[in-house]
Structure 1
Amino acid sequence: MINSVRFFCLAVFMLLWPAALPAAAATGPVPVDQGCAANATGSLSDLQTFICKEFGIPVARLGKQVDLFTDLKLDHTDVHYKLLGFYSDYGVVPPRKILTTVGVIASYLETAPLSQPATRGQSEKKKAYRQTVFYATNRQPTGKKDPDLAFSNLRAKDQKLRLGMATVNIPISHKPGQLETPWMKIGLMRDERLHLFVIDLAELGEDEFFTRIGSGGKPASKSPDGVGTEDDILVFIHGFNVLFKDALRRTAQIAFDFKFRGTPIVFSWPSDNNLLSYASDRENAFWSVKYLEKFLIKLQAKYPGKRLHVVAHSMGSQVLVNALRLLAYSGKSKLFTNVILCAPDFDAELFSQQIAEEVRPLSQSWVIYVSRNDIALSFSETVNAVQRLGTPLTPINGYQVIDASEIEVTPWSVPEFHSYYATKQSVIRDMISVLKLEQPARRHLKEKLKTGLTYWAFK
């Protein structure tokens, strides 16, 4: 029976990775700025043009009575967030309830309260934020100028760790937890008002790289309730099946949503970006361990006074934990303020029985997020034949093990059930509290016991 369940999880996972894209219109997409000229005027014209460009729906099909959900079968989440961006650009306060009929939305635009002293309609106000992300990668460079294609999914042939910085566009309409992406992921359809994407890359020499980090963080958002100071550094290690550009995007999203005042860095190892390449990704993860160890040693040595936070997701935990094990063997201690393992794809027994005690002295705080709803880790358990650390539940002395199973996730959406650490608001808020070193008892968690050890769960 257990094997049958695992096989079912594997089959579902393979069918659903990556998450389903928004449904296309039955008539096919309409290229941006082509065929989207509306015959109407005013707010109706603006709305029709917007829907045409964003969803590929011909203006002729966008009569006042047309419903975006029931008539056009558009994805609810995609419509919701794109309309929020449209309302923001239009300078009006979004409605309390989502409006779905073309005519109703157009009428609302005419009478809605302004979001700030402004002129109703399309404006030239700020369209996006700019988030700086530093990177360290042992991927093979391609030589291409397009920042999305600058690094391949292969190992660096010269075995060098390349350092640099990227600028990432965060749309003014960004919602926490979202990686706003153009329809069908077509780069030419990117809009700085609506999408989160890499603008440019700059490879840096080692001296310049560390000098720029030493100058402190340059957060995209100047929120007064931000996390940390310019002396904080956050290193993110991504998981399996991740492109270089998406590693940058996720790091930017995390830093922005955390309102992180310090310096975000992504360590991007050569993931194949292919669901069927789990085995080769795992080998690349092990191949990357020494690179990460040396990078962390150098980072800590350069800035002994800065607070280092390290966050690893999924298979990235294999890179991090094994690198930390090497650091522990060399006698290092108290290198980090926080080590956070999110949905770790790591042998639960190996970590709890043999590694946890060895690496614990390296960090002031250890946090592990787990969930029984994580189908990706069910797949990993099938492949590896052992329980993963990111599935419930392995309490460990001296570690904050946090069960996120009660957080509602969409079972067919990988970003929801496996990347919940970055997409679900309650987990984002808790991670912000972790970075502030707030104890679990002061957060929105409930204390539980298993085998005499404490763990925590979301209320």
Structure 2
Amino acid sequence: MSAPSRAPPPVATAPAPEAVKPDPPAPPKKAAEAKPAPPVESAPPPVIVEAPEEPVVGAPEEEAAAEAEPPEPEGGSGPPAEAPPPSRGLGGADTSAGSPPPPPPAPAPAMPPPGGGTAAEEKKDGFDIVPIYYGTDRAEAATEKRLDYGPNRGRKLILGQALVTVPKTHVQPQIERPWAIKIPYFDITLYEEDEDPDKHFTMKELKAQTREELLALVRARLAKSERFKDHAIVFVHGYNTTFDNGIYRTAQIAYDLKFDGAPFHYSWPSGGGLSSYTYDRESSGQSVPYMREFFDLVIKESGAKKVSVIAHSMGNQPALQVLREIKSSSPPGVVISQIILAAPDVDRDNFENIAKEISGLASGITLYAASNDFALNASRRFHGGVPRAGDVPTGGPLVLPGIDTIDVTAVSTDSFGLNHSGYAENNALINDLQLLIQTGERPPEKRVPLLEKVGTPAGDYWRYPAQR
């Protein structure tokens, strides 16, 4: 994310957090009291104004590479992006709705006619409301404002529904959030813009649900689905992602896809901090039994006739383990529609072994990879130079039987948070994801004619042509 010039921060030692797109700066409204944490260095770091001028989408989590050992927090070069402040619901001051959002891309022939569905459950004058059905094994966090979940492990599955506001002025594929002036490495907020649902993604409501309550809500939602009839998606976030950020990312994907099916999110207890890479790696692994329980609920009890799974970055590690268990223990006929693996931060050899075991579980498996993903490059160095499954090294991306590998280096990967450089923004991946989930059409060039097919001894893969 771009911002006024800033002095370089202290060297980070873990991958960067997923940046969430704030709005342009507004006149200061209030100053939050500062609670300094123990300083990391003797000299205080520079004040950082988080108010980018260019649209940059952060994804649930990622990492900017540094010349340090562990991956640096996601966020590209420059200081790591702060996680968004706790949601305050609709307490922000109202403003008039901005100009209407840009028109959606022209649908491909296989798409239904326009107006066949929307992710919004409810529409207001300045914003829409998108429901997200969540599962988490995070422990509840102490807060006076509302229910919240922190980085600690709860060691049990909790279910619930989040209602997220999406402003009518939303620009795809951003996540508009309030901007702030903060001092990195200290718990000091000098200024924080008020949340406004007419301008920002906000948490209108967050409520834990019993299994029966949640399933009733999901089935009612599916009964009204049109564009994505009886379809559910499950999004699993990656490294350094707070609970709120994961919910916002799921809402952004559902909204930009015009997904009127049931959007689910699984939130494992990521540390959400600058040095939490090792914690996150172990934490994601211990989440497998709870994630498996959640996947079983979605696949077997929700009433969805199609289920697609989107796993991002480190979230691929537990998600692939769960899918392997489902394949080995489920009776024939339990088939997932699409498995989408975005920038998997997984050892290549392990990935290849698991890919063989889950073969046939889904109608299709797609791997999005990139050579300019700072997070994966840093992770590779952290793991002794062993390439990650989402890398595109000199020899090319990972190509395996039964998996469509797409090299997205040439286009923006911000839609999934694969890359946080902000060097380019377009909707190529969102458009492909929409067609992939809706039609399942293969090979990829049938969905996206501009893709180039590249032959290798291991098989074919596809790539977006370099932009001029």
Matches within 5 A, 1:295-310: 295-303=294-302, 306-310=305-309
Q: CA deviation at 1:355?
A: 1.5
Quote the residue 1:59 is aligned against. none
- Residue type matched to 2:456 in 1? K
Quote the residue 1:457 is aligned against. 463
Q: 2:172 matched to 1:176?
A: yes
Quote the residue 1:346 is aligned against. 346
1:92-129 residue CA offsets vs partner (Å, 9 max, x unmatched): 999xxxxxxxxxxxxxxxxxxxxxxxxxxxxxx81101
Quote the residue 1:113 is aligned against. none
Q: 2:385 matched to 1:375?
A: no
Check conservation: 2:342, 2:416, Cα contact below 8 A.
no
Check conservation: 2:162, 2:203, Cα contact below 8 A.
yes
- Residue type matched to 2:350 in 1? L
Matches within 5 A, 1:109-188: 126-144=125-143, 146-147=145-146, 150-156=148-154, 159-184=155-180
Q: CA deviation at 1:191?
A: 1.3
1:251-283 residue CA offsets vs partner (Å, 9 max, x unmatched): 100000000010101000000001311011000
Matches within 5 A, 1:67-82: 75-77=52-54
Check conservation: 2:17, 2:273, Cα contact below 8 A.
no
Q: 2:278 matched to 1:279?
A: yes
- Residue type matched to 1:330 in 2? S
> Residues 187 and 254 (structure 1 numbering): CA distance in 2 closer, same or farther, change over 3 Å?
farther
Q: 2:214 matched to 1:209?
A: yes
- Residue type matched to 1:425 in 2? N
Give the Cα separation in 1 of the matches to 2:283 and 2:196. 34
Q: 2:387 matched to 1:387?
A: yes
Quote the residue 2:200 is aligned against. 195
- What 5-or-longer segments of structure 2 have no aligned partner? 1-9, 32-48, 57-93, 103-123, 182-190
Q: Tell me the SS of whatever aligns to 1:161.
A: strand
Which of 403, 406, 415 is residue 402 of structure 1 equivalent to? 406
Check conservation: 1:169, 1:196, Cα contact below 8 A.
yes
Quote the residue 2:5 is aligned against. none
Q: CA deviation at 1:328?
A: 2.3
Q: CA deviation at 1:12?
A: 8.1
> Residues 12 and 391 (structure 1 numbering): CA distance in 2 closer, same or farther, change over 3 Å?
farther
Check conservation: 1:401, 1:456, Cα contact below 8 A.
yes
Q: CA deviation at 1:335?
A: 2.7
- Residue type matched to 2:97 in 1? D
Give the Cα separation in 1 of the matches to 2:326 and 2:205. 34
Give the Cα separation in 1 of the matches to 2:421 and 2:135. 22
Aligned length: 361
> Residues 310 and 408 (structure 1 numbering): CA distance in 2 closer, same or farther, change over 3 Å?
closer
Give the Cα separation in 2 of the matches to 1:294 and 1:151. 19
> Residues 74 and 369 (structure 1 numbering): CA distance in 2 closer, same or farther, change over 3 Å?
closer
Please tell me whether Structure 1 or Structure 2 has the larger radius of gyration of its CA atoms: 1
Q: CA deviation at 1:418?
A: 5.0
Give the Cα separation in 1 of the matches to 2:317 and 2:127. 35
1:278-307 residue CA offsets vs partner (Å, 9 max, x unmatched): 011000100011111122123222146521
Q: CA deviation at 1:380?
A: 1.0
- What 5-or-longer segments of structure 1 have no aligned partner? 1-9, 34-71, 80-85, 95-124
Quote the residue 1:251 is aligned against. 250
Q: Higher relative CO (CA 8 A, sep ≥ 6), structure 1 or 2?
A: 2
Check conservation: 1:171, 1:193, Cα contact below 8 A.
yes
- Residue type matched to 1:453 in 2? G
Quote the residue 1:89 is aligned against. 97
Q: What do you get for the CA RMSD once the two structures are aligned?
A: 3.6
Check conservation: 2:367, 2:403, Cα contact below 8 A.
yes
- Residue type matched to 1:237 in 2? V
Give the Cα separation in 2 of the matches to 1:407 and 1:276. 29
Q: CA deviation at 1:152?
A: 1.1
Q: CA deviation at 1:438?
A: 2.0
> TM-score with structure 2 length normalisation?
0.69
1:305-340 residue CA offsets vs partner (Å, 9 max, x unmatched): 521011110000001001111222325554310111
Check conservation: 1:233, 1:262, Cα contact below 8 A.
yes
Give the Cα separation in 2 of the matches to 1:454 and 1:257. 29
Q: CA deviation at 1:433?
A: 1.1
Quote the residue 1:47 is aligned against. none
Check conservation: 2:18, 2:240, Cα contact below 8 A.
no
Check conservation: 2:237, 2:246, Cα contact below 8 A.
yes
- Residue type matched to 2:150 in 1? S
In terms of fraction of residues, the more helix-rich structure is: 1
Quote the residue 1:447 is aligned against. 453
Check conservation: 2:100, 2:169, Cα contact below 8 A.
no
Quote the residue 2:70 is aligned against. none
Check conservation: 1:309, 1:339, Cα contact below 8 A.
yes
- Residue type matched to 1:246 in 2? N
Quote the residue 1:119 is aligned against. none
> Residues 249 and 426 (structure 1 numbering): CA distance in 2 closer, same or farther, change over 3 Å?
same
Q: Tell me the SS of whatever aligns to 1:215.
A: helix
Task: Answer with 182-191 or 289-298: which moved more.
Answer: 182-191
Give the Cα separation in 1 of the matches to 2:294 and 2:50. 48
Give the Cα separation in 2 of the matches to 1:218 and 1:199. 24
